[in-house]
Amino acid sequence: MSKTTIAVALMDAPYESENLTTAFRILDAAARRGYDLNVFAYEGASALAFTKQVPHPNPVHGKNLAEENHPTTKDQVAALVAAAEASGGKVDWINCGMCVDERGVGEFVPGTRRGSPADFHAFVEKSDNVLVIPTK
Binding stretches for other proteins (CB under 8 A): 14-18, 20-21, 24-25, 27-28, 31-32, 58-61, 63, 67-71, 73, 75-76, 78-80, 82-84, 86
Residue number, 85 or 124, with CB nearest to other proteins:
85
Residue number, 54 or 118, with CB nearest to other proteins:
54
Q: How far is the CB of 117 from other proteins (least distance, A)?
A: 26
Q: How far is the CB of 58 from other proteins (least distance, A)?
A: 7
Residue number, 14 or 115, with CB nearest to other proteins:
14
- Ramachandran angles phi, psi of 9, nearest 5°: -110, 130
Residue number, 89 or 115, with CB nearest to other proteins:
89
Q: How far is the CB of 25 from other proteins (least distance, A)?
A: 7
Q: How far is the CB of 70 from other proteins (least distance, A)?
A: 7
Residue 71 class from Cβ within 10 Å (0-12 exposed, 13-18 middle, 19+ buried)?
middle
Task: Tell me which amino acid residue 92 is.
Answer: D
